[in-house]
Amino acid sequence: MSLRGVGASQGVGHGPVFVLTAEVPEPPEGATYTGDADQEKARARAALDEVAGVLEGRGRQAGGAAEDVLNAQAMMARDPGLLVGVEALIDHGTAAERAVYEAFGRYRSMLVGTGGYMGERAADLDDVRDRTVALLTGHPMHGVPLDAPEPFVLVARDLAPADTALLSKEVVTAFVTERGGPTSHTAILARAMGVPAVVACAGATSLAPGTLVLVDGSTGEVRVGPTDAEVAGATGAEAARQEKLAAVRGPGRTADGHSVPLLANVGGPGDLDAALAHGAEGVGLFRTEFLFLGRKAAPTQDEQVAAYRPVLEAFPGATVVVRTLDAGADKPLAFLPAREREPNPALGERGLRMSRRFPEVLADQLAALERAVAGTAARLHVMAPMVATAEEAAWFTEACRTAGLAAAGVMIEIPAAAIRARDLAEHVDFFSIGTNDLAQYLFAADREMAELSALHDAWQPALLDLVAAAAGAGRPCGVCGEAAADPALACVLVGLGATALSMSASALPAVRAALAGHTTEQCRLAAAAARSAKDAATARQAARAHLPGLADLAL
């Protein structure tokens, strides 16, 4: 017998079922209290406060993404609007536990009404409510055992972050929930832990505790009472897949030894650990906006030096590509005011255009970078965003040279720059293609509009044509957009002539394995096939036909 849900985190896990039944009974409607209203309010406030404290404490212990989620839940418990609602109900004679239940209920129906991602957040709200009600009524909260003689499959109607934040891979081999979707916490947490998960699996909580199950996080199948042969077959195949991905280590290269440095996109010092852990060979895109956003005045040179240096120090001997400030009407800064209200911020005075109007801000940033790299072993590259013409490229390189910086380059994200890449190449040391903005400008399709997402597909042959034009202009040419994180597309980009790929750190292992599984010639054939296609879907299919190694890696 099998149950079926939606695979939300890849992998295979098996073990006895632990069913989490943390249902806290609803306090009866019309429940009243005896005694003083102020005392009853104090009781409610104390319970909410205690729950907030417990959630914050677990957050600190767990760290990372779980801490954000638990802190947000603590904020729900401390919500001023909620408290007003609770106190009003108590004033009308309702007991504290019922008042808490009803006050949360109002927000709950609003969240569920919005559906999707927000609807899934209703589970967070229920958890805060149940914890508070349990505290007020003395009802015990069942927790997940943090230790067990044998690893188990955790089954629940839905899981709250407070239940799962402290779990480890050694204790839980898989998650199965009846509710939730691919963006629920269970899914996010499971992926972060590297534990398989199946969500939206009807009937899961009816499984008897201790029942053996085999969970496939790719297909969404939960096999009840599997045979030893079934378990061995599934875990064997999964181990082989993991082994294949993990076996590919070291610098990025194709099967025939052509080197393609695999770099990380970094938005601040907080991203460094993940970059290093996933074997990034350097930084392909260091966004510096984090230092400038939300400030009245530009950061001082000293402050900038202090912020850049940790990133440069983390990669001795490696390339670190820093993008100069990319601000404009779409990311407004108080010290770089727009001349007027721009009707089309994406097409307005942003990126290098803004730097030319406020050259002192750019000069300060370049000087800070020059000071930051001094004494480190990093190979600093600096590039400008939103460059359209050779004249702009020349102006930026001149500014870099004046600041004493050796390697100056430009982002290729405007079609004009890609089409005339040879003209720009005369003035710069390298290119880096930002596929997301390049697609937006190539297809005249606003990135912020989900309705136009088909036009932002990085497999669009027209976009691949522009990548080829830029990569063939005689300068080292990296790709730092989302496209580089797709293992199949990464091979195509290399086939088009990309010399480095930069992506979010977690995408590195799969891209590394995909490249190692194919020769440069296969990448070229895949690229040619994709460019011959007339639409994105056909391009994807045609390219994959030349990349047989992807299927072996289950990518």
Partner 1 sequence: MAERKVTIVAEVGLHARPAATFVQAATKAPIDVTVAKPGGTPVNAKSILQVMALDVRKGEMIVIAAEGENTEELLDQLAAIASAP
Strands 172-177 and 197-199: parallel
Beta carbon nearer to partner 1, 76 or 275:
76
Answer for the pair 222, 198: CB distance below 8 angstroms, yes or no. yes
- Per-position x/- string for 254-293, each x denoting binding to partner 1 as judged by CB under 8 A, each - no binding: ---------------------------------------x
- Other Cβ atoms less than 10 A from the Cβ of 378: the count is 22
Q: Residue 169 interacts with partner 1 (CB under 8 A)?
A: no
DSSP, residue by residue, 126-152: HHHHHHHHHHHHTPPPP---S--SS-E
**Per CB under 8 A, which of residues 320..349 are in contact with partner 1?**
330-332, 334
Helix (H) or strand (E) holding 32: none
Binding mask 386-425 for partner 1 (x = CB under 8 A): ----------------------------------------
Total residues contacting partner 1 by CB under 8 A comes to 28
Which residue has tokens 């149950």?
3
* Contact flag: residue 449 with partner 1 (CB under 8 A): yes
Q: Find the part of the chain contacting partner 1 (CB under 8 A) among 144-152, 249-257, 447-455, 497-505.
A: 447-455
Residue 289 or 521 with smaller CB distance to partner 1? 289
For residue 297, state whether it binds partner 1 (rule: CB under 8 A).
Answer: no
Q: Which amino acid type is present at position 163? A: D
3-state secondary structure 445-459: CCCCCHHHHHHHCCC
Instruction: Identify how many contiguous H helices and E strands the chain contains and give both numbers.
Output: 22, 16
With a CB cutoff of 8 Å and minimum separation 6, the contacts of 462 are: 442, 443
Query: CB within 8 A of 540, min separation 6: which ones?
Result: 459, 488, 530
User: Between residues 298 and 542, which has the closer beta carbon with respect to partner 1?
Assistant: 298
Out of 29, 35, 448, 534, the only residue in the binding site for partner 1 (CB under 8 A) is 448
CB of 51 to partner 1, least distance (A): 14
Q: Are strands 212-216 and 221-224 parallel, antiparallel or unpaired?
A: antiparallel
The smaller minimum CB distance to partner 1, of residues 22 and 82, is found at: 82
Q: Is 296 in the site for partner 1 (CB under 8 A)?
A: yes
Is 290 or 443 the residue whose CB approaches partner 1 more closely?
290
Instruction: Select the span of 76-84, 191-199, 258-266, 364-372 touching partner 1 (CB under 8 A).
Output: 76-84
Question: Angle 442-443-447 (CA atoms, 0-180°, nearest 5)?
Answer: 100
d(CA 277, CA 282): 12
Catalytic residues: 185, 480
Only one of the segments 17-25, 113-121, 361-369, 517-525 lies at the binding site for partner 1 (rule: CB under 8 A); that segment is: 113-121
The 10 Å Cβ neighbour count of residue 155 is 28
* Rounded Cα gap, residues 39 and 47, in angstroms: 12
Identify which of residues 85 and 517 has a Cβ nearer to partner 1 in the complex.
85
80 lies in the site for partner 1, by CB under 8 A: yes
Q: Is 356 in the site for partner 1 (CB under 8 A)?
A: no
Can you give the binding site for partner 1, defined by CB under 8 A?
Answer: 68, 71-72, 75-76, 79-82, 107, 110-111, 114, 117-118, 121, 125, 293-296, 330-332, 334, 448-450
